Chain A
């Protein structure tokens, strides 16, 4: 059974600082997603990573995938308050194109 572990689960950081969220998964998968969720809102797709070594960047966020290490990272550069949200990674499960196993989420709070 696929297990997806995110850490940290809670992250409080100051504006202007850099930090990384880690997503480890237990079995081979060829697809990994990062989502953002604001309180009481839906999930917004941030990145889709499909191959080993994939790196994608959008604004202050950069995601990467190492399929050999079964690890994805979400790097935050020079954090701003607007980035405060919960971030989930999700990994394609087994042979289904539809099933995703989500991590528990990282609650990010950016303080002035």
Chain B
């Protein structure tokens, strides 16, 4: 299984709502990532978890709250978002250590988020 899954595919939320994005992988990867991608731009790294511990937070506003309940799951909790947070949110995973050192990241299909 070389797939990263994300739910939901689309999400529309108001600025006062609380919602969560979910990501799952069964490749045995121990590093998981959240990226944000605006239209016609490259992905921007938000968070990295390594062995279920937060390893990198790229100064993301606190209205985004990541959680890694176990090695296969990654959540992104959303609260009081702004319209400018509308974007494609991508989850990725990679091995934490590899024989080749590639750390190749496998991306999920993304959640298209619209904040109204």
Query: CB within 8 Å of B: which residues of A?
Result: 31, 33, 35, 40-45, 48, 50, 88, 90, 92, 96-100, 102-105
Contacts and interface: CB of A to CB of B under 8 A. Distances in A.
A92 B102 CA distance: 10
A8 to B, nearest CB: 15
Contact of B42 (A40, A42, A48, A103): A103
B8 interface: no
Interface stretch (B11-19, B60-68, B71-79, B106-114): B106-114
B81 interface: no
Given A42-B107, A43-B43, A104-B42, A98 B100 contact: no
A105 B43 CA distance: 10
Interface string B85-116: 00000101010100011111111111010000
Nearest to B104: A48
Contacts, number: 58
A104 B37 CA distance: 12
B104 A98 contact: no
Contact of A105 (B31, B42, B92, B100): B42
A33 B45 contact: no
B17 to A, nearest CB: 24
A103 B33 CA distance: 18
B42 A88 contact: yes
Closest 8 CB pairs between A and B? A102-B42, A43-B107, A98-B48, A42-B107, A48-B102, A42-B109, A97-B103, A48-B104
Nearest to A103: B42
Contacts of B101: 31, 50
A50 B102 contact: yes
B56 A98 contact: yes
Contacts of A33: 104-105
Contacts of B112: 40
Contacts of B31: 97-98
